[in-house]
A and B are shown apart, each in its own frame.
Chain A
Amino acid sequence: MLDRLTEFFFPKQVSTFASDIDNLYFFIFYSSVALFLIVVFGMVYLSIKYRHRKGEELKLTSSKDHSNLLESMFFIIPLILVSITFVWGIRSYLKMVIVPDDAIEIKVTGQSWFWTFDYPDGGTTLNELVVPSNKPVKLVLSSKDVLHSFFIPVMRSKMDCLPNRYNVMWFDATKEGVYDIFCTEYCGTGHSQMGAKVIVMQPAQYEEWASELGSEDDDLPLDELGAKLYTKKACNTCHTLDGSALVGPSYLQTSQMWGQERVFDDGTSTVIDDNYIRSSILEPMTQIVAGYQGVMPTYQGLLSDRELDALIAFLKTLNEDSQI
């Protein structure tokens, strides 16, 4: 029964402390429902019982305006309930802030509007946080620009990312799977698209994945690698493949305009070619396409030369039928 209810109210419980927090929720929930029913029942009962009936004469009403017994009950019962809530809230909170010593440390960086993850043994991923199951993971969070907040609903945890200091959160994932990550601190145009995934793997699988991180893509043909990078490096947050405009121009439109002039917001223009694409990835703020806002971050240092080539190759292959 409680499991069904938990599933109704909450996303899955994946961290070690998730069930504790859900139980705290249900304690407050049932106490609140009880108090709420007393309020509603009292209100309905008294207003109907003492309603002014048709034709009844106005009369002097009771002078009763206090009852020490009732009032102390109204004071003491909620006081007991909130005391339990407070202590429970703090005890669970301490579990959420005291990081076990053997935790793996992953660096999380928020930037408008994607997440970068740096792993302890080298290697970086974008918008995909890969962690082993049943092992504590410590996240050290910060931001490169404005405030962001890193929220993993299934872990029941969240922490702000600040540009000038590090915040810490941790979890120990109990179930393998792929789960949502959301940005919960408003950060501008792309805020609602600043999502990511956390992938929880068996520890052995994670070890294997971590050792291959960064080298796995060497054998792929350029355009296939580009297609992969398109989602992996979060290009898809702002650029579509179907011609519709999002935060930035669609890749399809750019591909279809290959070799033609592109007009910028300062009135200048350039022919779309390989060099244009390369410079607009590495120095996006120098030429802003007319009709769009200049909001793209630089990918300098985030993409290797081969990866840049791959994205350009991928973009050139696009046509109306492309699907990803």
Chain B
Amino acid sequence: MSENTKQNYLNHPKGIMSWLLTLDHKRIGLMYLFSGILFFFLGGLLALVMRFELAAPGNDIISNEVYNNAYTLHGAIMIFLFIIPAIPGALGNILLPLMVGAKDVAFPRLNLASFYIYSFGALFAMYTIINGGVDTGWTFYTPYSTQSTSNVVPMTLGIFIIGFSSILTGLNFIATVHKMRIPGLTWYKLPLFVWALYGTSLVQITATPVLAITMVLLMLERFLGIGIFDPALGGDPVLYQHFFWFYSHPAVYIMILPAFGIISEIIPVHSRKKIWGYKFIAYSTLSIAFIGFLVWGHHMFTSGQSVFSQIVFSFITYFVGIPTGVKIFSWILTMYKGQVSFTPPMFYALAFLFLFTIGGLTGIFLGAVALDIHLHDTYFVVAHFHYVMQGGTIVAFLGGLHHWWPKSFGVMYNQTIANIAALGVFIGFNGTFFPQFLLGLRGMPRRYATYDEQFVELHSYSTFWSGILGISIFIAVMNLFWSFIKKNKVDPGSNPWGGMTLEWTHTSSPPHPHNFEEEPVLQHGPYDYDKVIVEKTYNK
């Protein structure tokens, strides 16, 4: 069959309406991907503005007000418009039905609705920017957020709306995993990315309503003056912190679990090796999702909560650390006696292991109450969560994009440029955020538009490398999109990495509009590299 006559979801059906009203999970995933990357760049640009302002003390480029808007929008855009919706929305949508052998997700119309709800919420966030920004921090701590004259209401309304998109996507994925698997694809034969999306979805549908309620209460307080969180009205600001972190700590797992799933796919495929400890990784995904609900108090170690609460929250926090640690060792041991190829996805996976380990270990410092009191709200925390969110989630996301790019779009990017960009991301990232651990230990508070002379050296170092990091990410992403323009097509039947899951073995690249031309029959497990040799088939 020549490729011109070959139908795939990208070329069939045609026309703008066929995209805007599509029920195809792959097209919806692609729309999530584009909007997600757009917000990623916007958030990244704000980060660079902040870093350049912080290159020297004093207000050199922007004023305090502008800085406060920039850091608030950076956090809110990265979390609520990019990482939470776009990673499950893009990679999850494109891959989940393919991986379970289904024609689509369980509720295709609901899936499209999720995307439009997300877009609608994003409009409110964009309105916030045009209308002069919001300066409360992405945490919207009261009573500052009830008193601030900036656009707190449009922003929180946007987050409230996007929350529904999150809940509906979660619901859709859970139903898909339960009901749409092909015969024979039992739970223990599911790719671990599916387990990760399942765990993520459980957290999304259980935690997001709490955020939605909190945002509604905040708006009610501002509109109607009902005292809930603002002491001037008889409310309690610490209650707000409990509500907020009851969602926002589990949200950390909404952000990191899909990354774990991506790494669990990349490492066995590029090592051609059965994954180490399949069941352990699967169950720890669920247990991390559950324990994640019980540790929110460690964000409040200096709020004045009771000594007993401090001890309990510190104790439970370590129970998240241990399964995560065992996962890291499992990924590393997967390479044992394998055939490891140093491809761009594998480089990102190795970078993930390095960076996420630092992110995880520095969490142990913050879990120890006595030490957290010194480090709380300093740059140590800033560095810690960037090692987890950017070094972990975003690096894994980039790895996932490189891994599934030829599958999803039928084109191959320039692998040399991809490797160089990956190296740039790795070095630039460490250069930017490692000095921030030291800044925090030495007492530099976070969310400062200007700072004391004693911190200049480390700040300017961090700023220098943030430029390298920004350029590298830009090159990495542009290199991917360039493959569209260059039309460097791969064969429809190609399997460039020798993947074993259904999306590699039973669909064309890019996939058919209905995913599979006939219902796939499962021939082997997702990582049976000890039983079957899957050839790597590159370009024609």
Contacts and interface: CB of A to CB of B under 8 A. Distances in A.
Interface of A: 9-11, 17, 20-21, 24-25, 28-29, 32, 35-36, 39-40, 42-43, 46-47, 50-52, 56, 58-67, 70-71, 74-75, 78-79, 82-83, 85-86, 88-97, 145-147, 149, 151, 153, 156-160, 162-165, 167, 180, 182-193, 195, 247, 293
Contact of B338 (A50, A88, A183): A50
Given A52-B272, A146-B144, A184-B376, A71 B304 contact: no
Nearest to B376: A158
A52 B136 CA distance: 51
Contacts of A159: 302, 304, 373
Contacts of A42: 329, 332-333
Given A10-B442, A58-B498, A51 B325 contact: no
A194 to B, nearest CB: 9
Interface string B125-162: 00000000001110001011001100000000000000
Given A61-B274, A165-B304, A184 B377 contact: yes
A74 B326 contact: yes
Of B64, B135, B147, B336, most A-chain CB atoms within 10 Å: B336
Interface string B231-243: 1100011100000
A28 B377 contact: no
Interface stretch (B10-18, B42-50, B187-195, B529-537): B529-537
Given A52-B341, A185-B377, A192-B451, A160 B364 contact: no
A60 B530 contact: yes
B340 A156 contact: no
B283 to A, nearest CB: 13
Nearest 4 CB-CB pairings of A with B: A153-B443, A89-B368, A92-B370, A63-B530
Interface in B366-402: 367-374, 376-378
Contacts of B535: 58
25 contacts: A11-B443, A17-B370, A24-B368, A32-B362, A39-B332, A39-B353, A42-B333, A47-B271, A58-B533, A59-B533, A60-B530, A61-B274, A65-B277, A71-B277, A74-B326, A86-B315, A86-B318, A89-B314, A89-B372, A93-B370, A94-B307, A163-B143, A184-B378, A184-B445, A189-B64
Contact of B325 (A74, A183, A293): A74
A147 B445 contact: no
B368 A28 contact: yes
A186 B144 contact: yes
Contacts of B518: none
B103 interface: no
A47 B321 contact: no
B237 A191 contact: no
B310 A82 contact: no
Contacts of B137: 186
A180 B443 contact: yes
B335 interface: yes
B19 interface: no
A61 B304 contact: no
A95 B303 CA distance: 18
A21 B304 contact: no
A43 B446 CA distance: 33
A189 B65 CA distance: 6
B371 A190 contact: no
Nearest to B315: A86
Nearest to B368: A89
Contacts of B325: 35, 74, 78
Contacts of B530: 60-63
Given A11-B443, A89-B369, A163-B237, A39 B328 contact: yes
Nearest to B59: A246
B452 interface: yes
A169 to B, nearest CB: 9
Nearest to A154: B443
Interface string B339-364: 11110000000100110011001101
A43 B339 contact: no
Contacts of A75: 322, 326
Given A146-B147, A192-B64, A58 B339 contact: yes
Given A9-B438, A78-B321, A164-B237, A62 B337 contact: yes
B448 interface: yes
A25 B365 CA distance: 7
Contacts of A35: 325, 357, 361
Given A50-B335, A58-B533, A163-B231, A147 B141 contact: yes
B273 interface: yes
A145 B141 CA distance: 13
A53 B269 CA distance: 16
Contacts of A97: 307
B109 interface: no
Interface in B485-508: 498
A61 B272 contact: yes
B483 interface: no
Contact of B339 (A17, A61, A145): A61
A97 B531 CA distance: 60
B302 A160 contact: yes
B278 interface: yes
A56 B302 CA distance: 58
Contact of B236 (A95, A164, A190): A164
Nearest to A77: B325
A247 B374 CA distance: 29
B365 to A, nearest CB: 5
B237 A96 contact: no
A156 B369 CA distance: 12
A193 B450 contact: yes
B311 interface: yes
A62 B273 CA distance: 7
Given A56-B339, A58-B536, A60-B533, A151 B443 contact: yes
Contacts of A29: 365
